[in-house]
Structure formats: C-alpha cells, structure tokens
Structure 1
C-alpha cells in the first residue's frame, strides 16, 4: 500500500517536473509564441514515443490529467465578471453564439467530407468556438472522449491558434480597424485566452475589448455544455446504449467562482496568483494527456481534423472581420 502511494505521488511529481520545464521554456523568445500548453504536450509525446509510458506512475499521471484538469477549469471561472458581460458584453454574447455554431458545424462538415476522426473534430469545434483547451477538457468529459483524442485536439488548437494570433499582430497595421474593433475581432475569432492576449496586446484599448469579447465566449461554456449533454443523452438513447452521459459537476464550481468574482472584489495580487496556479495545473494536465499520444496515431488521426481546423479558423477570421466592419 505504501509503495502504491509513493508511486502515485511520483506520478504527480513527474508531471510537475515536465510542466515546470515547459513553463520555463515558454519564456524563450521563439518558444514563447507556441505557449507552455503546446510545449508540454510535445515534450510528453516525445517522451512517450522514445522512452515509453512510465507505467508504474500511471495512477498519479491519470489523476493529474483528469482531476487536476477539472480544477484548472474551475479556477478559470475567476476570469469572468458576469455583470460586465451582461452589460458591456451583451451583444458580444450573440456574436459568441454565432462563432460557436459556425465553428462546430463547419469543422464537423469538412471533417465528414474527408472521413476524418469524428471525436477530434467535435472537440476541435467546441475548442475553436469557446475557449480552447478548457472547452475541449469539458466536452471530452461529457462525450467520454479518450485521452489520446483529447491531447491531439488540445495540441492542434494550441498550435493553430498561436499561428493565427501571430498573423493578427502582423495584420494590425494594415487591416484599417480601430483599436477597439481590432480587439473585438481577436476576441471573437481566436481560440485560447492566451492567444487573444498575444494578439490584443497592441494597445490598452484593443486588449480590453479583446478580453471582453473572449470572456463572453468563455461564459457560454456553461450553457453550451448543458445543451451538449442533452443532445448527447438523446443520441445514446437513440442508439440504445447503456452508457450514461457524464454530468460535468466541475462546471458548478466554474460558475460559482464567476459569481464570486462578480460580487466580491478579489485583490489583484490574489487573482493573479490563482491565475498562475490554474495555468500551471493546466500545463500539468497537458503532460498527462500528451503521454497517451503515439506518433502513429497522431499521423492517422490528425490530418483531416487539422485541415478542418485551419479552413474553419480562416473562414471565421474573415467572416467576423467583415461583420465587425458592417456593424
């Protein structure tokens, strides 16, 4: 029993070490544009496919990739101020609904045309439409996606989203948008919060509006998850399976922290500390997920979803750009 407990802790320690290395590497100029999440997945995949999965440590690693991932998602709730979203960001919620519907249906449509992996396409659709890794982690728990598909999806969304964020920063001087409209464009169309910050940091106004637009989409994670649960339960019933749809209880914690952040003024230093903890827990979870990906599976599963993601992201950028100009 003591030996099992020791191996469990060693598994957690393993993810901490790799996460810390990934975090530090993300400060290197070239790697900083990729981000710590993608770095952690890449390192873990290289480890798995060269050295092998550290089987004795599986218990602790699985705990991190499943349980601590959900803790990280809960802590994301502290980014939301429901009052600001309900007032200043109300019309952005409508834009967010459009972005989610477009992303999910377009990725699934393109993926189906070329017979790609359905699970990964679904995860990428919600990851693109809502908030990247956090949305993929939530949706994967509802549809019971395996860890390999989840890791591939998060890796793709991190890399493609970062690529688009960098393009946005280069386009800023030539797109002929005001700082605030450019910020809304980035917030409505980019995948991860970190990518929105990267693209929106060209000025204070653009950063403020990009975060408002993005957090309006993050807020939609809760209602969208309940809608998906309903649809998925109907699907499993129709297919006469005994498998039950998981209720993502951690979303209650996510919403509760959003309510707390709305009505209680949390000191900025504490808020920043919690944000860093959530980020590090997410990186640790990526280590656990990345260890489940084989390069062979990546090549077989990722090609079509990757094309679907690139095409959908490109269309999303163009459509939201012209919509904002017209508005």
Structure 2
C-alpha cells in the first residue's frame, strides 16, 4: 500500500495515495468538470500541489490549502491574480476556487510552464526579479487588499513580537536555542521597526523567491504561489522579498547575503525610489524574514538533529 505524503495527510486527512487520487478526482469532477487523465507532478510543503492533465486536454494546477484557510482571504487572492492575468502579467488565470471538497479548500488554475535559466545570484537575473516585483505591485496599486490581512502567511506577521505561530506546525519557535538567542533578539528589534512603519498598504507577493519565479534569459516570464499575497506598506513587502529572493537557487548559497539583500533593494529602487525612512523599513523586513528562515533551520537542528545546509540563513545572518 502506497502511503500519502506527509503534506497530503496533514491537509486532506487521508492516509494512502489512493485516497489522495480519489479526493483530487472528485474535486476536479465537481468544480472544474471532466476527469483526470494523468498526474503530471505533485509536491508542496505548505499546500498540496498537483499538476494535472484533464480528459479534455486542459492542463491545470490544483492547490489544496491547509486546515483553517480563510475563504474570504482566498477570494481576494483570486481577484488579484485574475486581474494580473487579464492585464497580461505573467501569472496563471484561476479557473475555480476557492472551493471545498470534504471541507478542504482548493484553488485550480491554468498551468503555466517555464524553464528558468541562470540563477538569482546573477545581477541581471536579480534585477529582472526586482523589476517584475515592482511591476506586480504597481499593477495592483490602489486595490483594496483588506481581506488579505486575516490569515496571511506567518513570515509576514510581525504583529505580536519576534515570532508568530509558524507557517508549519512542525516548527516550534517557543523552544530556546542556546547560543542563538541573538536571532530572537534581532527579529524582535526588526519587528518593532515594522510595527511602527507608516504609509499606504499595497497588494504584494510575499514569497518572491527563485522557486516561485521564472526568469529566462534575463527576462521575467511568470510567477507562482499567489496565495502568499499580503497587504502591507510597500517597503515592508519589498524588504521581505529581498531577504529571501535567492531561496531555491540552483547555485548555492540558498540564503542571500547582506550585500545581496542590499543589491535587490537597489534594483527595486531603480523603478521606485524609497525615502530614507522607507529604506530602513525595507531593511528591517529583510532582516526579519532572514531571522524567520534561520529560526526554522535552528528548530530543525535542535529538535530533529538536521544540520543546516551550507550557506544557510543562520550563516548568512552571522556574517
């Protein structure tokens, strides 16, 4: 008997791969129409993601969300994503959702395919990522994103001190890590700056990292994972993206160095310059999200004995 992946079990409440296939088939039948001809890929850590070819020839991506997903927030995500797709921006059009099967919310969208080239450590590629983020934020500037606030991603929530409840229940940030208390202190100081930030909020992608963005031959093509949209002051959105943009890079290190964070912010400011106070907010957001990622790695180290990879966020923060 083939077991379901951990993420699939946590989200769908099933045990076997056959039960996963049954849930996917029923959701497609009831909400998209047609039957599943083949599964092109599956994966995901926060959501359970399936690339599907349907019997009518369509290729779609289905993303099932963790328990507790906020339907009002998801509807706002869909409105923003479809507005971008209609404008010609590189994102997939949502075909259905948020809809639920057996109490599990999911979104189904067209499948966009793109094979990236290069790496985010290359200045031209990094610049393309920054410019595309600026274009995305500008395209949705003025959109009311209030419904995005409730239930937003944990790595964008600095409202309650250093740490929110982590994005994945496997992590526990309440357990101190001896010798690394400075990470908690640095995160808390950065969070204080961010809570005091002023200025209008914008709708922006909060997980603008290499694994969610496709740049080919130095040109932005597409971005994915739009359920990570947030509604925050622009410098805070840009800063947290700068603090993680190289995550998933085919070339190590995975974590951006302080110099690379500054370079991403400089690239963004070529499109939309910040005032000195805004730049400080962006830098605080970058520091906070780097601390958040480091805290995940520290939790893996202390409670699971998982050594952090070379070029980790812990190492990047320490230098």
Global fold match (TM > 0.5): no
Which structure's relative contact order is higher, taking Cα pairs within 8 Å and 6+ residues apart? 1
Task: State TM-score, norm by structure 2.
Answer: 0.28
The structure that is strand-richer by fraction is 2
The structure that is helix-richer by fraction is 1
Task: State TM-score, norm by structure 1.
Answer: 0.28
